[in-house]
Amino acid sequence: MNKNLIKSANGSILIFLSFLLAVNYLVSQQSFYVDLTQEKIYTASDASRDILGNIEEPVNITFYISEDLPSNLLTFKTEMQDIMNQYEDISQGKLNIKYETPDNEDATAQELALKGIPQLQSEVFEKDKIEVKRFFFGAEISSGDEENEKSEVLASISSLSSFEYDLVSAIYSVSKRDKEIIAFLSGHGEKALDTTELEKSYEIQSVAISADEGNRGFYVAQDPAGAEDLQTSEIASEELVTTEEEKEFISPTTLIIAKLEGDLSIDEISVIKEFVSGGGKMIVLAEKINPDLEQGFVAKNIESNINELIKDYGIEIENNLAYDKSNSTISYYKQTYFGRMPAESYYPFWIQAIAENFSNHSSLSKIQSMTFLWASSLKAEGNDAYDVETLITSTKDASLLSGDALDISPEARLSFADSSKRVLAASATAKDGSGGQVVVVGDSDFVSPGFMNPLPDNEIFFLNLVDSVSSAANLSSIRSKNISGRPIRAVTDSEKNYWKFFTIFGGAVLLGAYGFMRISKRKKLSKS
């Protein structure tokens, strides 16, 4: 064999091995990967990078993960640890991450239960039989010293669908020196809302209004027993028993009014307007006509002076009930010859708003559809002091009902003769640069706890809305990474006919054109 060839081969092998060593060294110093998922669930979002890169105080994260996990969690554990490596790099040393492997002893279970991390269980099929496997998969996030420690707990981690938001919002919460306050107005029959998700990032308070000279503003409202937050107990303002000495005044970032039933006093309106003019944010969820569910499918006017508060911002809630050809289904009981029978029907008063009728507002990021339940339309024209942006409209096939004791049953005969787009949500921003902002949604039912679970995108919109008008606006884009609803776009009859004829005749036309080209080419070749 030629010695030069051997030397050349050995040299090539040496060069190749050197190249592999160099590549391995570079990869060990910096991770490289490609995330091909549609929502980039394995990649830290820009908002996460912003929050993690600007952590105010060091954050300790301790994961409690059992060694013997159900098989479906083994892959997730690896994916989660890869994501945590990203977060650690982004935080530039501000995240201290530990992994502990707890046993299944009772003492361990009790210790972790005190931290808020329960022992989980899952049925698994092993050794030809079903067994119950007990395990831990949770995390504790904390910041500060022992005297001033702030902590949050992720009791159960099981998928990537909400992991980024849950973890990053917990990090954001514990690392901030002070949480923003979100206040829910109470004392006027307001709707009780589920604030569990908001509590991850904000301090939530129910408030009443004091208009006394020298003592104007919002104070923490309690029920007559002093034991419950008014957000879970609808009590009239005159029943509040907080003395002047007991009033705890707060300065909220955002005030939320959810379905006002009754009138605000002139003084209360004045205090709220002062709050907005000083740069405060306000979200109003209200309608002017709503069902009286105790009376069945009958809608009645709601007596409140909410427009006296919001009209100065260039938005008013109109005295009507909107309905649309784009709608969701409703389950109900139908009276038949055999008695009351369960039925399901498309229901025009449950308006399905779709993404093509959304603005570019951050609260609507990646949301594909929402369902409004018995909504009133808005007049959103703006004025000299406020710029108004329309956030959501119905489709062009929406009409309106007005009056009292309206028939809103699934079998009601409705006319779409005057159909057009109707404004369902709008935002007003102060032109003077003060930062004052008011968002009005012509519906409060869409965010009711009873409708949250079957309509998850409604909840995401509401939470994003709070984030977007408050200073934690970055969180909304993280939450929106995993949107579930992707409705089929409605098409016109002409579009349907176009695609029908294209499907039937398109293939034949293309095949005929190809055949004609082949015949023409053969004729040219034969002549030559």
Q: Output the pLDDT for position 421.
A: 96
Q: Output the pLDDT for position 394.
A: 96
Q: Which of 308-312, 318-322, 462-466 has the lowest mean pLDDT?
A: 462-466
Q: Are 305 and 261 in contact (CB under 8 A)?
A: no
CATH code where residue 152 lies: 3.40.30.10
Q: Which of 390, 438, 470 is nearest to 276 (CA)?
A: 438
Q: What is the rounded distance in angstroms from the CA atom of residue 292 to the CA atom of residue 294?
A: 5
What digits encode the pLDDT tens for the residues 177-217? 778 899 999 999 898 888 888 887 889 999 999 988 878 99
Q: How many domains does the chain have?
A: 4
Mean pLDDT of the chain: 83
Q: Output the pLDDT for position 493.
A: 66
Q: Output the pLDDT for position 235.
A: 43
The length of the chain is 528
Mean pLDDT, rounded, for 68-83: 88
Does residue 330 lie in a domain region?
yes
Verify that 208 and 158 share a domain, yes or no: no
- Residue 425 sits at the vertex; the CA angle it makes with 221 and 219, to the nearest 5 degrees, is 10
Verify that 98 and 209 share a domain, yes or no: no
At 26 the three-state DSSP class reads helix
Q: Which of 1-15, 126-140, 329-343 has the lowest mean pLDDT?
A: 1-15
Does residue 485 lie in a domain region?
no
Confidence of residue 8 (pLDDT cuts 50, 70, 90): low
Give the rounded percent of residues in the chain with a pLDDT score beyond 90. 39
Verify that 225 and 334 share a domain, yes or no: yes
Q: Which of 375, 374, 391 is nearest to 293 (CA)?
A: 374
- Terminus-to-terminus CA distance in the chain, angstroms? 56
Mean pLDDT, rounded, for 412-426: 94
Q: Is the dihedral of CA 315, 320, 322, 328 positive or negative?
A: positive
| Extended strands (E) in 75-136 | 95-100, 120-126, 129-135
Choose one of 152, 174, 196: the last residue of a domain: 174
Q: What φ, ψ does residue 9 adopt, rounded to 5°?
A: -65, -45
What digits encode the pLDDT tens for the residues 472-522? 656 766 766 655 555 555 556 677 776 677 778 777 878 888 788 878 877
Q: Which of 68-77, 108-117, 140-149, 216-225 has the lowest mean pLDDT?
A: 216-225
- Give the domain range for residue 415: 178-479
Cβ neighbour number for residue 291 with a 10 Å cutoff: 19
What digits encode the pLDDT tens for the residues 92-132? 889 999 999 999 888 999 999 998 999 998 887 766 677 78
Q: Output the pLDDT for position 231.
A: 43
Verify that 184 and 167 share a domain, yes or no: no
Q: Output the pLDDT for position 525.
A: 75
Q: Which of 36-45, 81-90, 101-110, 267-276 has the highest mean pLDDT?
A: 267-276
Q: Output the pLDDT for position 189.
A: 87
**Which amino acid is located at 355 in the chain?**
A
Q: Which of 380, 310, 361 is nearest to 464 (CA)?
A: 361
Q: What φ, ψ does residue 389 adopt, rounded to 5°?
A: -115, 130
Q: What share of the chain is helix, strand, coil (3-state, %, to 5)?
A: 35, 30, 35
Does residue 484 lie in a domain region?
no
Q: Output the pLDDT for position 31.
A: 53
Q: What is the rounded distance in angstroms from the CA atom of residue 374 to the CA atom of residue 289?
A: 8
Collect all residues with Cβ–Cβ distance below 8 Å to 432 and sequence separation of at least 6. 385
Verify that 209 and 252 share a domain, yes or no: yes
Verify that 127 and 189 share a domain, yes or no: no
**Beta-bridge partners for 277:** none
Q: Output the pLDDT for position 113.
A: 92
At 417 the three-state DSSP class reads coil
Q: What is the rounded distance in angstroms from the CA atom of residue 528 to the CA atom of residue 524?
A: 6
Does residue 490 lie in a domain region?
no
- Residue 28 sits at the vertex; the CA angle it makes with 25 and 32, to the nearest 5 degrees, is 115
Verify that 167 and 234 share a domain, yes or no: no
Mean pLDDT, rounded, for 72-77: 87
Does residue 39 lie in a domain region?
no
Choose one of 107, 140, 174: the last residue of a domain: 174
Mean pLDDT, rounded, for 300-311: 93
Mean pLDDT, rounded, for 35-52: 73
Does residue 186 lie in a domain region?
yes
Q: Output the pLDDT for position 310.
A: 96
Give the rounded percent of residues in the chain with a pLDDT score beyond 70. 82
Q: What is the rounded distance in angstroms from the CA atom of residue 27 to the CA atom of residue 226?
A: 60
Confidence of residue 37 (pLDDT cuts 50, 70, 90): low
383 CA to centre of own chain: 30
Verify that 81 and 55 share a domain, yes or no: yes
Q: Which of 223, 287, 522, 313 is nearest to 422 (CA)?
A: 287
Verify that 120 and 195 share a domain, yes or no: no
Pairwise pLDDT comparison (186 vs 240), residue with the higher score: 186
Q: Output the pLDDT for position 225.
A: 35
Verify that 228 and 275 share a domain, yes or no: yes
**Is 461 exposed, middle or buried, given 0-12, 13-18 or 19+ CB atoms closer than 10 A?**
buried
Collect all residues with Cβ–Cβ distance below 8 Å to 315 and sequence separation of at least 6. 378, 379, 380, 381, 388, 426, 428, 438, 440
Q: Are 466 and 182 in contact (CB under 8 A)?
A: yes
Verify that 245 and 337 share a domain, yes or no: yes
Q: Output the pLDDT for position 378.
A: 97
Mean pLDDT, rounded, for 244-253: 84
Choose one of 153, 174, 195: the last residue of a domain: 174
**Beta-bridge partners for 11:** none
CATH code where residue 441 lies: 3.40.50
Cβ neighbour number for residue 339 with a 10 Å cutoff: 8
Q: Output the pLDDT for position 492.
A: 63
Verify that 68 and 155 share a domain, yes or no: yes
